A and B are shown apart, each in its own frame.
Chain A
Amino acid sequence: MSPLLEVHKLSRFFGGLRAVNDLSFTVSSGEIFGIIGPNGAGKSTAVNLVSGVTKPTSGKVRFQGTDVTGQPPHKLVQYGLARTFQSTTVFGNCTVEENCRRGSYLARYPGFFHSFFSTSKAGEMRQASDSRVAEVLEWLDLHRVRNVRAADLPYGAQKTLGMAISLMAWPKLLMLDEPVAGLSAAEADNVRDTIRKIRAEGISVVVIDHNMRFMAGLCDRILVLHHGQELAHGLPQDVLSDPNVIEAYLGRRYVKA
């Protein structure tokens, strides 16, 4: 099976700083792929590069065999590559339902003219998108809170809503930037269940986090980033027992222990 996402020798320099250097990996259909690393390792930059938020200095990103390097995020969503953000995950002032409507731009927006005159095309698209919103809310267990203002949701539910927004575009690959940062253990477990649910629908997931315990229990494969470069790459148990990884995470004195 050909890989869904291919990242080839991706680099990004900020002035003299090599935030990401020569990063390569692939993600297959239906896979949960993890990128971990200590703070400042370049994880977020890596997601930004792949999702088009930041332009790479060099390297290639291929999605389903198409070269999408340097394309803006809204184009990548059309290809089927969606993402969430670490901090701004939801539109805080709107209801949960409205958040999802805003997420479904591609299915919902008929163009300025149709939308202005509310043509039949606009009506059809609106109806289709509304039923899809209801479906996703039900699926991710958010339907009970659909009229709640997003900012009033507990933090864990906001993270789930963030994923729901991204899922409205029917992506083939979803990239999650620190989905459990700041969550309690119970909430993190909830998020892990949701991610598994998403994969069960055939959507590949790339997760970025520094929480090893969470990642080990979730991902099929893990890549460890350190100072913008790949430190290790493989199955969770192999990667996490790698002495280089332990050193990077915990410091030299833990390596022998």
Chain B
Amino acid sequence: MNSTAETVPVISKVRLGRSTSSALIGGGIAIVAALAIMPYLLDERFFYHIAILVCFAAIGASSLHLIIRTGHVSLCHAAFIGVGAYVSANVVMKLGFPFVGGLVAGTLAAAGLGLMIGPVILRLTGKYFVLITFLFGEILRMVFVDWQSITGGANGLSGIPAPAPVFAEPKYFYALALLAATACVAVCGRILSSETGRFVNAIRESEQLTECVGVPVIRTKVMIFVIACGFAGFAGALIAHYARYISPPNFGPLESLNLVIMNVIGGMQTLVGPLLGAIFLVLVPEFLRGYVQLQHIMFGVILILVMAFLPAGVVGVKDWVARRMIPHDRRGEQ
């Protein structure tokens, strides 16, 4: 037993690149912060619009990241965004509540739906969870299309009011969206860095072992799922009152898949991943939009290249840099 200490490498040795990697993460946060204030420097309405879309994507992707950290990849997250959007729009337009009422109702409705289905579907793991959430998202989309009295059917709901007249201007709405996104990411980050995060990580790495040290696994997963769905509903309410017009394709399986892509492209291991992914997935198609008929082909090639050469996502660039700096480092396969 005593000999073990000499025969195995100590972890600090392996992680020679620790300071470089934390510098890179810090750098990532600095880039995000710089991008966040950039629209105000440029002061162009279209940049505000794009920045707002990044904020929405960031809330969606980082809340999905919470679920992913429990080891479950949900393919119906956009459907929960839809629940928040439709509930908020209805509460404001039909019941006459102010925007805040819609925001709260949308958040609670999505969280409530998460609480209803979470205990059932979170018993499934891995690919089975992916599949059941895919089907559930598809059913919700069909409900959005068919429940015409509430959702306006396939034609959607139009004429949704802005949160306040001043927020009809993207410049001011961006402040709201940025605040919301920052708060959401901060809460997600705090959950993951707290003791709760420790046991969330444990659940992902081995559900069985974690259950047997006394962690109520299902209850913890449901709690995280409900919080994440709540954030999705929150984002949905914001989207409804920004776009002023919502329709089912905004909340379909393709959008859910986009949120997963943000996580995978950015990196599923840390919260920085989905943030980079959100920026990536909003900006890259915008770069390409001008190449009218080639845009999709270029985007597809980018997806293939990132996944083939950075299997850990864009965040994995730091490992790639580290490998260059430390020639004999261990392979960073995940």
In the complex, are the beta carbons of B1 and A141 less than 8 A apart? yes
State whether A126 and B214 are in contact (beta carbons under 8 Å apart), knowing that A102-B202, A141-B1, A149-B14 are contacts in the complex.
no
- Is A229 part of the binding interface, using a Cβ–Cβ cutoff of 8 Å? no
In the complex, are the beta carbons of A88 and B209 less than 8 A apart? yes
In the complex, per-residue mask of A46-64: 1 if CB is within 8 Å of any chain B CB, else 0: 0000010100000000000
- Is A89 part of the binding interface, using a Cβ–Cβ cutoff of 8 Å? yes
In angstroms, Cα B7 to Cα A247, docked, is 43
- Is B293 part of the binding interface, using a Cβ–Cβ cutoff of 8 Å? no
- Is B210 part of the binding interface, using a Cβ–Cβ cutoff of 8 Å? yes
Determine the chain A residues whose CB is within 8 A of the CB of B217 once the complex forms.
Answer: 74
Total count of chain B residues near the partner, CB < 8 A: 32
In the complex, are the beta carbons of A169 and B214 less than 8 A apart? yes
In angstroms, Cα B215 to Cα A109, docked, is 9
**B5 → chain A closest CB, angstroms:** 4
Query: A91 touches which one: B4, B11, B209 (CB < 8 A)?
Result: B209
In angstroms, Cα B232 to Cα A221, docked, is 56
How many residue pairs at the A-B interface have CB separations less than 8 Å? Answer: 110
In the complex, are the beta carbons of A77 and B213 less than 8 A apart? yes
In angstroms, Cα B280 to Cα A60, docked, is 57
Determine the chain A residues whose CB is within 8 A of the CB of B333 once the complex forms.
Answer: none
State whether A95 and B1 are in contact (beta carbons under 8 Å apart), knowing that A73-B212, A88-B208, A165-B213 are contacts in the complex.
no
In angstroms, Cα B213 to Cα A106, docked, is 8
In angstroms, Cα B277 to Cα A94, docked, is 26
In the complex, are the beta carbons of B11 and A109 less than 8 A apart? no
Size category of the binding interface on chain A: 35 or more
Determine the chain A residues whose CB is within 8 A of the CB of B216 once the complex forms.
Answer: 72, 74
Query: A116 touches which one: B4, B5, B12, B196 (CB < 8 A)?
Result: B196
**B115 → chain A closest CB, angstroms:** 15
Chain A CB count within 10 A is highest, among B191, B198, B208, B213, for B213
In angstroms, Cα B9 to Cα A144, docked, is 12
Q: Chain B interface: which of A3-11, A131-139, A151-159, A198-206?
A: A151-159
In angstroms, Cα B11 to Cα A152, docked, is 9
- Is A210 part of the binding interface, using a Cβ–Cβ cutoff of 8 Å? no
Chain A CB count within 10 A is highest, among B4, B14, B199, B211, for B4
Please, which residue of chain B has its CB at the minimum distance from the CB of A152? B8
- Is B289 part of the binding interface, using a Cβ–Cβ cutoff of 8 Å? no
Residues 242-257 of B contacting A (Cβ, < 8 Å): none
Determine the chain B residues whose CB is within 8 A of the CB of A105 once the complex forms.
Answer: 199, 213-215
In angstroms, Cα B213 to Cα A88, docked, is 13
In the complex, per-residue mask of B157-200: 1 if CB is within 8 Å of any chain A CB, else 0: 00000000000000000000000000000000011001110110
State whether A77 and B212 are in contact (beta carbons under 8 Å apart), knowing that A141-B1, A148-B9, A152-B8 are contacts in the complex.
yes
Among all A-B residue pairs, the 8 with the closest Cβ atoms: A77-B214, A144-B5, A115-B195, A115-B194, A102-B202, A106-B214, A103-B213, A73-B212
Known A91-B209, A102-B213, A147-B11; 10 more pairs at CB < 8 Å: A82-B212, A88-B209, A91-B206, A102-B210, A105-B213, A108-B195, A145-B4, A148-B11, A152-B8, A154-B7
- 19 A-B contacts (beta carbon < 8 Å): A53-B208, A74-B212, A74-B216, A83-B212, A84-B212, A88-B209, A102-B202, A110-B195, A112-B223, A115-B194, A115-B196, A116-B190, A116-B191, A141-B2, A144-B2, A147-B10, A147-B11, A166-B213, A168-B213
